[in-house]
């Protein structure tokens, strides 16, 4: 299924680029707006444009194909089998953080009460006190 996903993604990108190219080639509806004010063509400013030409029809077909490819990619992404691994970035992180079930845990260290206590340090000899005459 991974190969078909890649094919769908490549087709999706190519159709998107084709739509962008066709839209940029077309003549906009508002291009004659400047001549509408005092130019005599004000009747067609917001009126019907007539039959669609080849560029607008091919744009509509490519838009429908783009929509269907988007739905297909969404369906493939939600119906992935568990054999292919995690479905997204969050699932991959969760899978990496889970500890392995077969690895035994290390023994806990002994509490401080059972550990042997160090021997007290010997006291240092005191200096003799000087006697002050009274």
64-92 per-position pLDDT tens digit: 999 999 999 999 888 876 555 556 677 77
| Number of helices followed by number of strands (H, E) in the chain | 4, 0
Going by C-alpha positions, the residue among 79, 73, 76, 59 that lies closest to residue 17 is 59
By mean pLDDT, which of 35-39, 50-54, 62-66, 117-121 is the weakest? 35-39
Query: Could you tell me the pTM of the whole model?
Result: 0.50
User: Burial of 63 by CB count in 10 Å (0-12 exposed, 13-18 middle, 19+ buried)?
Assistant: middle
15-33 per-position pLDDT tens digit: 999 999 999 998 877 666 6
Q: Where are the domains of the chain?
A: 1-27+54-80
Q: What is the reported pLDDT for 82?
A: 57
Task: Tell me the CA distances in angstroms from 27 to 45, 50, 52, 95, one per residue in order.
Answer: 14, 14, 12, 52
Give me the chain's average pLDDT, please. Answer: 76
Q: What is the reported pLDDT for 112?
A: 56
């Amino acid at each position: 299924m991974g190969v078909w996903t890649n094919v769908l993604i490549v087709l999706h990108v190519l159709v998107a680029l084709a739509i962008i190219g066709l839209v940029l080639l077309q003549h906009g509806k508002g291009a004659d707006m400047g001549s509408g004010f005092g130019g005599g063509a004000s009747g067609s400013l917001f009126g019907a444009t007539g039959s669609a030409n080849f560029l607008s029809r091919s744009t509509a077909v490519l838009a429908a194909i783009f929509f269907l490819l988007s739905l297909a990619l969404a369906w493939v992404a939600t119906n992935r089998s568990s054999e292919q691994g995690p479905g997204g970035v969050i699932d991959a992180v969760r899978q990496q953080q889970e500890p392995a079930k077969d690895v035994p845990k290390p023994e806990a260290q002994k509490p401080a009460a059972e550990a042997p206590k160090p021997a007290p340090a010997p006291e240092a000899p005191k200096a003799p006190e000087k006697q002050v005459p009274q």
